[in-house]
Amino acid sequence: MSPLGTAAVVLACLVAGAFTGMRLRAKLPAHHLGQDSADVIKLATGLMATLAALVLGLLISSANTTHNTIESEYRHTLASVALLDHYLAAYVPDAQEARD
């Protein structure tokens, strides 16, 4: 699924959840709508936001580590090729075909 499609599905789920919550609010008992319940929801929302931030931070860190590892291997390979070319240059003209 494309990122745009995924975003559309997430948005649709959020909107549907908001409308469902507004409709169910009228049917809930009064003790579920008190200040204590609202505080618990705020704490749970804060916990979920903190966990989401932690997961995203770890995901970005992992992607950065992978990128740096691949870049380091690429640079090491290029350095090895340049060194091999330097060694082959010492055997000119016999190694000219291999250098080309």
| Cα dist from 29 to 20, 25, 90, whole Å | 16, 9, 88
pTM: 0.59
pLDDT tens figures, 56-77: 999 999 999 999 999 999 999 9
Q: To 5 degrees, how large is the angle CA 15–CA 44–CA 34?
A: 85
CA atoms 52, 54, 58, 63: torsion sign: positive
User: Predicted confidence band at 39 (pLDDT cuts at 50, 70, 90)?
Assistant: very high
